[in-house]
Amino acid sequence: MKVNSNRDISFKSIYTNKALKKGLEFAAQDGAMFSATTILALSMLARPAAIALAPHTDKENKKVACAKSLASSAAGYLLTLFVSTPFVNAMMKIDEQPQRFLKPETINNFKKGSEKLYQSKSYTLATQLFKLGLGLIVAAPKAILTCAGMPYVMRYIFNQKNEKKPENLSFKGKGNDKLAHGIGKILDNKGMQKFSDRYKDSNFPMHIIAATDALTTATFIHETNRSDKIEERRKKAVIYNAGISTTLSITSSYILDGLTKNPTEKFIQKFKEANKLDPNLDKQVEGIKIAKPIILVGCVYYMLIPFISTFLADIADHNPKLDIPHKKKPQNFDNVLKK
């Protein structure tokens, strides 16, 4: 009995941990930035280690894989930081003063019995479409910057340590009400309200994250294939690595998400019991639902998959049957004369 009592106390301390609760509030407030920060941390430590452990793999292919990871996470973090901050400020204003930015009819349609607007599942879905959707917006630019930044990472990062740490993000500031009013008009749309109500119980965070990863990878593969800055002999390994990583990551993440559904629900119930007097409980619970798929995908993609994908990409790189067609550069005039 004494052991169980100590175990209950230890678990209760996890549920009431201040750092955990702040992190969950961060995830609820800005899912895209939470994702970018998580990815940045994992790409700096976990993914390079996993790539380094890949067996029987060309060292240069390992370096290129690491360069892609570092360039991608840095580009994603900076782009998301730039794009998300004004949106987060606008969404905070709507959360705090919905009557200023939403029609009374919209508020009533979203609430549907909820005491407060932010407790509504349909409102949560509608707002998270903006917050997590930012990742989808920056997906293509992120991939383009990743492709452009890889040669510089290869040239500089592997020769010197980068001790620069990401700056802390602050959500405070006056900002401009125009964006909040613009988002409010979208939320006032009955089509948006019906969509949110219909899919409020769906696994929308996972779907958005998967779509973002798929779009990012597709754009990256396209840009890599046509790039003249990345060595031709390294393109094949990079492209296969990206494609294999994303495919395995999305598939395995959905499987793990399903397997952890019941444990997550139990965790949420115990979390609610331990924090029932916390005024930010609803935001923290929302944060759990947002953070779970982000952490799942992040851990799978940056810790487990690199070990497999780097190895498989290296095999594909040495298989002529798996060559990838790309645009041929115009022949040099001197070479034409020689013929």
pLDDT digits (tens, 9 = 90+) for 112-150: 766 678 778 888 888 888 777 777 777 788 778 777 777
Cα torsion through 293, 300, 22, 20, rounded to 10: 110
pTM of the full predicted structure? Answer: 0.65
Please report the pLDDT score of residue 22 as a whole number: 92
How many CA within 13 A on the CB side of residue 92? 17
Please report the pLDDT score of residue 3 as a whole number: 46
pLDDT tens for 95-104 read 888 888 999 9
| Regions of the chain short of the pLDDT cut 70 | 1-12, 54-57, 61, 113-115, 156-176, 306-307, 309-339
Please report the pLDDT score of residue 253 as a whole number: 86
Please report the pLDDT score of residue 310 as a whole number: 66
The CA distance from 187 to 193, in Å, is: 7
3-class secondary structure per residue, the chain:
CHHHHHHHHHHHHHHCCHHHHHHHHHHHHCHHHHHHHHHHHHHHHHHHHHHHCCCCCCHHHHHHHHHHHHHHHHHHHHHHHHHHHHHHHHHHHHHHCHHHHCCHHHHHHHHCCCCCHHHCHHHHHHHHHHHHHHHHHCHHHHHHHHHHHHHHHHHHHHHCCCCCCCCCCCCCCCCCHHHHHHHHHHHHCHHHHHHHHHCCCCCHHHHHHHHHHHHHHHHHHHHHHHCCCCCHHHHHHHHHHHHHHHHHHHHHHHHHHHHCHHHHHHHHHHHHHHCCCCCCHHHHHHHHHHHHHHHHHHHHHHHHHHHHHHHHHHHHHCCHHHCCCCCCCCCCHHHHHHC
110, 122 Cβ separation under 8 angstroms = yes
